[in-house]
A = this chain, B = another copy of it.
Amino acid sequence: MRDEKTINSYSGFLNIKALLIVSIETLNLHFNEYFPLNAKERDELDVCFTQRSIKRRQFILQQGEVCKYFTFVISGCLRMYAIDKNGKEHNIQFIAENDWAMDLSSFYSEKASQLSIEAVEPTTFLQIKHDDVLHLYTDYHKFDHNFRVIIEQKYIESQNRVLQNISSSAEERYEYFLKQYPNLANRLPLAQIASYLGITPEFLSAIRKSIVTKG
């Protein structure tokens, strides 16, 4: 009996440990798409990153707090949003598997963030603390390099989105969103997508109807 119980809890521990290893390996593979890490750099991932899971509607950052972590999503989906002077929320970004979530501005300035980051699905992620990020930047050229490339890609994406916003109708923006994030489209409530596109849920509902009618 006693043995059994010991084995059970031990194997439970093993599972958690195993999941963490899988997550770190996911992150390692992510970096492999840029400049692959060597053994020592790979070991830093184990040291610096911690795994957490949260439920839908829980936050990893709330407006007014300082953003203290870089977050790498393993599974699930987050949304980053701002609240305007009328109390309305506006989705700036969705962050799903293999993507990074953080408010860079708050992270580096260490001042209160204007943004919130909330789970729209149960989400598992890895986090690295502010000081560890700086440590990796300082001691490893490769982390500086890889993060440069990652941010460059996010910058390109953001610029494309600006272009969409200033040049396209709501319907065109929606269709662009469907093409760019085909899997997110199914997973997210209509109201969240509407907020991302900068339109009302009612209007997105009308757009969907008009697309179905046409096609």
Contact = CB atoms under 8 A, between A and B. Distances in A.
A84 to B, nearest CB: 5
18 contacts: A90-B163, A93-B159, A104-B155, A104-B156, A105-B156, A108-B152, A141-B141, A144-B145, A147-B148, A148-B148, A155-B158, A158-B158, A158-B159, A158-B162, A165-B165, A165-B166, A166-B195, A166-B198
Q: How many copies does the complex hold?
A: 2
B84 A167 contact: yes
A167 B166 CA distance: 13
A52 to B, nearest CB: 24
Interface class of chain A by DSSP: helix
A161 interface: yes
Contacts of A151: 148, 151-152, 155
